[in-house]
């Protein structure tokens, strides 16, 4: 069994922390884990991706297109940009943030007005959530990525809830553990199970 | 012993530390930067950021000849700067082990060129090891030091962006201290004047021949995945690992010792398979050699020469080689009209002020490598020419000498000034040039993640040190007109540019304000646009600030409070007082 996860968004949205938590949770579940992150120039406002693979035997750190079990995006058009990585039937977890690129603000390009409709059309298994708004309601905008993490965790095999919670507890500062666990459970819809 | 999930760069640092490296030198450059940033966290290793790769290389060579296991780190283009000492050090050799860690950037994620460092190994006649993941990064570092001492020559360890930035679990070990070997005077070895150099030259050839024989026997570096005799793939680095997953019916020879070539191993492997393909990222160095051995093979006829060999590219190669059906990789979403998201100057970046100032003048701007390269992007578009570190100054000088009638402005950053800007400035003054030079001084090496340099007053080891003064150095080089301006003050920038561009002698403008990412305390409350006062003249959008957003031409711009750091540049360009 191998699981492939592609995380995307824009620099500063907490993608790399989410990747770190998934990697640790998978490690705790006894899997081989690899991750790949975008560094350098791409951090200056460019789109950011992190790839994770875990399973019984993993050689390559990169995901082949059409092979991701989960695509999770902190931004709507970034989900569309990487949609072709998701395997048929895979879970797309998308936060409804729009981060307007300078190419749009300068009038050279357009942010698609129908981004949400396109997401619904492309992803049969779509979990759409305004993670930022939900996080602000929970008292801290920085919880948005943990909410998305909760949502995407429901699409991954082989990692039980206690392992997720233990990974989160190790990756965030002690003062923020409870809030992050609550955000994770909210995103995972634990209360509705 | 414990298991850690480490990036290739972290693993290189770990492996070096475990095998007793005593001194490490480097200049930051993506994707190599984190190696020294991680190594410095371990006890017992002297680490430094040198002003450039040549200085770093020579310092590491001195340390290794001085009897201490040493290493030097850089990105591929850094090796161009350090190539001179490498060529001669190959002859002179070392006393304690020395590893040259070079990170290539296939796919040019953050580089101006896509160089294959294996060419340098062949040119310098030095062994080169090529790890494919973090596990090998740590293991190969140890082997590299052993080989370096065995053959008394430095060894190159070549990483790539994907290897440096991918995490794998590695088994860690404790450090084995390596005691210093005393340097003993030996002119015939260490002073390669021609009469000695000719003898050293012959020894280098003997060394390479012996290394090729050893490489052919080495199954720790050169591994074989035996999976049938129909198709045999010869590959290296992370591309070989993609192949292991995708070619489930092919045998794979993964070369970890990329040069000198293990001829006997290549011949034996080729003889064991009906068909051979060489799948290598970069140039067909291995393929040409395999063919020269009389082995017919597929290679660059099906493998792209340019770019990274991603899993998708490997799948396309597999379809060509085996006739296997190619999965449909086309976009599933309508994506051709998605707005691009190029990297850009951050909200509150002080460089914006000097580039915005330049948009008001008809000048040619020769730029350089760093965050301020982003001044080339719209809407600022204030860089017309870009080559390499330090060339911001020298290209400007050449353009003026060519008779360019418009004013020519040469820009380098502060770290770049110390790297290779000083000689260009000196030359411009000495040879009576007349360009306007600008140092975009944000008090750090920002693009690679805020490394210290000779102007920051701090070393990589965290010690306070002297802070070299750009203006004093320029003065000592003979520069008469030196101006310092705060780029956040757009009016002052405009005045200084106006005066200095009109001057009939060379001048230096130091545009000085700290990087906003580094000095987070400099961030102020976000501004907002008063929609009632805003006439939608869009002057603020000409700053190219990512915090100022508008979805379409009709809509008035607004400020994203999550991104704005309150630098107030937009406030000063708004004629209607709408931004507060």
Q: How close is the nearest chain A Cα to the Cα of B56, in Å?
A: 21
Residue B346 lies in a domain: no
Residues in chain B with CB shorter than 8 Å from the CB of A104 are 339, 549-551
Residue B330 lies in a domain: no
Q: Determine the average pLDDT of the residues in A27-40.
A: 88
Q: How close is the nearest chain B Cα to the Cα of A192, in Å?
A: 31
DSSP state of B579: B
Lowest mean pLDDT among A43-57, B3-17, B200-214, B358-372: A43-57
Q: B57 and B111 share a domain?
A: yes
For residue B553, the model assigns a pLDDT of: 74
Lowest mean pLDDT among B18-22, B124-128, B177-181, B316-320: B177-181
Q: B25 and B50 share a domain?
A: yes
Supply the pTM of this predicted model. 0.96
Q: B199 and B255 share a domain?
A: no
Q: Determine the average pLDDT of the residues in B16-39.
A: 97
Of B34, B315, B342, the CB nearest to A46: B342
Which tokens is B474 given?
Answer: 């320029």
CA atoms of B110 and B88, how far apart (whole Å): 30
Reduced to 3 states, what is the DSSP secondary structure of residue B21?
coil
- A27 has a chain B CB within 8 A of its CB: yes
Residue B328 lies in a domain: no
CATH number at residue A89: 3.40.920.10
Give helix B237-246 / helix B311-322 axis angle, nearest 10°: 60
Q: Determine the average pLDDT of the residues in B442-455.
A: 94
Q: B468 and B532 share a domain?
A: no
For residue B324, the model assigns a pLDDT of: 86
Residue with token string 């002057």: B539
Quick check: A32 and B169 CB within 8 A?
A: yes
Q: B10 and B136 share a domain?
A: yes
| Interface probe with B: pick from A25, A105, A116, most Cβ of B within 10 Å | A105
Q: At residue B1, does pLDDT exceed 70?
A: no
Chain centre to alpha carbon of residue B248: 34
Q: At residue B502, does pLDDT exceed 90?
A: yes
Q: At residue B523, does pLDDT exceed 90?
A: no
For residue B378, the model assigns a pLDDT of: 87
What is the band of A37 on the pLDDT scale with cuts at 50, 70, 90? Answer: confident
- Of the three residues B192, B217, B242, the one that is the final residue of a domain is B217
Q: B465 and B355 share a domain?
A: yes
Q: B56 and B155 share a domain?
A: yes
CA atoms of B134 and B168, how far apart (whole Å): 6
Task: With a threshold of 0.85, tell me whether the complex ipTM lies above it.
Answer: yes
Q: At residue B5, does pLDDT exceed 80?
A: yes
For residue B328, the model assigns a pLDDT of: 83
Q: At residue B195, does pLDDT exceed 90?
A: yes
Most confidently modeled of A96-100, A141-145, B138-142?
Answer: B138-142
- A26 has a chain B CB within 8 A of its CB: no
CA atoms of B370 and B374, how far apart (whole Å): 8
Give the domain extent around B505.
Answer: 351-519
Quick check: B549 and A84 CB within 8 A?
A: no
Residue B334 lies in a domain: no
Q: What does the DSSP assignment read for B344-408?
A: -PPTT-THHHHHHHHTTS--EEE--SSGGGGGGSTTT----B--STTHHHHHHHHHHHTT--S-E
Q: At residue A41, does pLDDT exceed 60?
A: no
Q: Determine the average pLDDT of the residues in A164-172.
A: 96
Which tokens is B170 given?
Answer: 């590695």
Residue B340 lies in a domain: no
Of A44, A109, A141, the CB nearest to B344: A44
How many residues in chain A?
193
CATH number at residue B268: 3.40.50.920
Pairing of strands A68-73, A2-10: parallel
> Using CB atoms within 10 A of its CB, is residue B494 exposed (0-12), middle (13-18) or buried (19+)?
middle
- The residue among B483, B466, B465, B464 whose CA lies nearest residue B474 is B483
For residue A42, the model assigns a pLDDT of: 52
Give the domain extent around A73.
Answer: 2-192
Residues in chain B with CB shorter than 8 Å from the CB of A41 are 30, 109-110, 343, 447
A42, closest residue in chain B (CA to CA) = B343
- Of the three residues B484, B519, B554, the one that is the final residue of a domain is B519
Quick check: A65 and B109 CB within 8 A?
A: no
Q: B386 and B446 share a domain?
A: yes
Q: Determine the average pLDDT of the residues in B299-311.
A: 97
Q: How close is the nearest chain A Cα to the Cα of B398, in Å?
A: 29
CA distances from B369 to B228, B374, B411, B420 (A): 48, 9, 10, 11
Q: B261 and B182 share a domain?
A: no
| Interface probe with A: pick from B332, B374, B523, most Cβ of A within 10 Å | B332
Bigger pLDDT: B69 vs A109: B69
Q: At residue B141, does pLDDT exceed 70?
A: yes
Domain count, chain A: 1
Q: At residue B59, does pLDDT exceed 60?
A: yes
Kindly provide the b/e burial profile for residues B194-218, where b requires at least 16 CB atoms within 10 angstroms of the residue's own CB. Answer: eebeeebeeebeebbeebbebbbeb
What is the band of A108 on the pLDDT scale with cuts at 50, 70, 90? Answer: confident
Q: At residue B399, does pLDDT exceed 70?
A: yes
CB of A120 within 8 A of CB of A102? no
Q: Determine the average pLDDT of the residues in B280-297.
A: 98
CB of B550 within 8 A of CB of A100? yes
Residues in chain B with CB shorter than 8 Å from the CB of A110 are 337, 339, 552
Nearest 5°: the CA angle B51, B33, B78 is 55
- The residue among A32, A15, A34 whose CA lies nearest residue B242 is A34
Reduced to 3 states, what is the DSSP secondary structure of residue B36?
helix
CATH number at residue B401: 3.40.50.970
Pairing of strands B23-26, B46-49: parallel
Above pLDDT 90, what percent of chain B?
92
Q: How close is the nearest chain B Cα to the Cα of A193, in Å?
A: 31
Q: B366 and B253 share a domain?
A: no
CB of B497 within 8 A of CB of B365? no
Which tokens is B211 given?
Answer: 């290394």
Above pLDDT 70, what percent of chain A?
96
Q: At residue A193, does pLDDT exceed 70?
A: no
Mean pLDDT of chain B: 96
Above pLDDT 70, what percent of chain B?
100
Domain count, chain B: 4
For residue A118, the model assigns a pLDDT of: 94
Report the C-alpha dihedral over residues A98, A99, A104, A110, rounded to 10 degrees.
-20
Q: B30 and B161 share a domain?
A: yes
What is the band of A182 on the pLDDT scale with cuts at 50, 70, 90? Answer: very high
What is the band of A106 on the pLDDT scale with cuts at 50, 70, 90? Answer: confident
CB of A37 within 8 A of CB of A50? yes
Q: Determine the average pLDDT of the residues in B438-449.
A: 94
CATH number at residue B543: 3.30.70.20
Which tokens is B441 given?
Answer: 């001084």
Q: B407 and B299 share a domain?
A: no
CA atoms of B509 and B440, how far apart (whole Å): 8
What is the band of A24 on the pLDDT scale with cuts at 50, 70, 90? Answer: very high
């Amino acid at each position: 069994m191998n699981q492939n996860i592609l995380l995307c968004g824009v620099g500063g949205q907490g993608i790399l922390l989410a990747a770190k938590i998934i990697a640790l949770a998978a490690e705790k579940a006894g899997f081989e884990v690899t991750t790949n992150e975008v560094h350098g120039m791409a951090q200056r406002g460019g789109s950011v991706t992190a790839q994770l693979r875990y399973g019984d035997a993993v050689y390559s750190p990169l995901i082949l297109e059409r092979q991701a079990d989960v695509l999770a995006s902190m931004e709507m058009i970034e989900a569309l940009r990487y949609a072709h990585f998701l395997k048929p039937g895979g879970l797309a977890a998308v936060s409804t943030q729009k981060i307007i690129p300078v190419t749009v603000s300068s009038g050279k390009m357009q942010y698609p007005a129908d981004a949400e409709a396109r997401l619904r059309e492309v992803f049969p298994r779509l979990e759409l959530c305004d993670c930022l708004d939900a996080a602000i309601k929970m008292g801290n905008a920085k919880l948005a990525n943990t909410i998305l993490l909760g949502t995407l965790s429901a699409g991954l095999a082989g990692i039980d809830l206690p392992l997720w919670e233990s990974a989160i507890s190790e990756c965030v500062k002690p003062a923020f553990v409870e809030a992050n666990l609550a955000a994770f459970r909210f995103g995972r819809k634990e209360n509705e199970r | 012993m414990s298991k850690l999930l480490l990036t290739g760069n972290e693993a290189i640092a770990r492996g070096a530390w475990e095998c007793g490296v005593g001194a490490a030198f480097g200049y930051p450059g993506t994707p190599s930067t984190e190696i020294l940033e991680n190594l410095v966290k371990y006890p017992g290793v002297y680490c430094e950021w040198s002003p450039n790769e040549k200085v770093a290389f020579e310092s590491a060579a001195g340390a290794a000849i001085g009897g201490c296991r040493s290493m030097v780190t850089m990105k591929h283009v850094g090796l161009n700067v350090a190539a001179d000492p490498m060529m001669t050090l190959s002859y002179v050799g070392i006393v304690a082990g020395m590893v040259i860690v070079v990170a290539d950037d296939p796919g040019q994620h953050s580089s101006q060129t896509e160089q294959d460092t294996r060419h340098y190994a062949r040119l310098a006649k030095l062994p080169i090891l090529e790890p494919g993941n973090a596990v090998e990064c740590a293991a190969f570092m140890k082997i590299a030091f052993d080989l370096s001492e065995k053959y008394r020559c430095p060894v190159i360890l070549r990483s790539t962006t994907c290897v440096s930035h991918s995490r794998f679990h590695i088994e860690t070990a404790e450090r084995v201290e390596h005691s210093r070997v005393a340097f003993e005077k030996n002119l015939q070895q260490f002073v390669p004047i021609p009469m000695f150099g000719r003898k050293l030259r012959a020894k280098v050839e003997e060394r390479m021949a012996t290394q090729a024989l050893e490489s052919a026997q080495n199954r720790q570096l050169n591994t074989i995945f035996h999976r049938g005799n129909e198709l045999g793939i010869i590959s290296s680095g992370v591309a070989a690992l993609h192949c292991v997953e995708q070619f489930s019916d092919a045998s794979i020879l993964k070369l970890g010792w990329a040069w000198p070539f293990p001829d006997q191993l290549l011949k034996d492997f080729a003889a064991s398979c009906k068909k051979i393909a060489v799948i290598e990222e970069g140039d067909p160095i291995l393929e040409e050699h395999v063919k020269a051995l009389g082995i017919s093979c597929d290679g660059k006829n099906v493998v792209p020469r340019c770019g990274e060999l991603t899993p998708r590219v490997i799948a396309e190669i597999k379809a060509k080689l085996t006739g296997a059906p190619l999965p449909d990789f086309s976009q599933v979403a309508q994506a051709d009209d998605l707005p691009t998201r190029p990297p850009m100057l951050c909200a509150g970046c002080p460089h914006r002020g000097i580039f915005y100032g330049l948009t008001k003048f008809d000048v040619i701007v020769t730029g350089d490598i760093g965050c301020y390269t982003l001044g080339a992007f719209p809407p600022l578009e204030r860089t017309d020419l870009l080559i390499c570190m330090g060339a911001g100054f020298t290209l400007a000088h050449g353009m003026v000498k060519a008779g360019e009638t418009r004013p020519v402005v040469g820009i380098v950053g502060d770290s770049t000034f110390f790297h290779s800007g000083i000689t260009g400035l000196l030359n411009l003054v000495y040879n009576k040039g007349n360009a306007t030079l600008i140092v975009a001084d944000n008090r750090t090496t920002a693009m690679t993640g805020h490394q210290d340099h000779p102007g920051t007053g701090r070393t990589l080891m965290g010690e306070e040190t002297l802070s070299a003064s750009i203006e004093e150095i320029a003065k000592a080089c003979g520069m008469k007109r030196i101006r310092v301006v705060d780029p956040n003050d757009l009016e002052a920038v405009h005045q200084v540019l106006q005066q200095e561009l009109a001057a009939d002698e060379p001048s230096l403008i130091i545009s000085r304000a700290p990087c906003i990412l580094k000095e987070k305390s400099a961030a102020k409350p976000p501004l907002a646009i008063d929609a009632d006062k805003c006439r939608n003249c869009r002057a603020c959008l000409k700053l190219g600030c990512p915090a100022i957003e508008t979805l379409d031409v009709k809509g008035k711009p607004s400020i994203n409070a999550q991104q704005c750091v309150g630098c107030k540049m937009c406030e000063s360009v708004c004629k209607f007082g709408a931004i507060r």
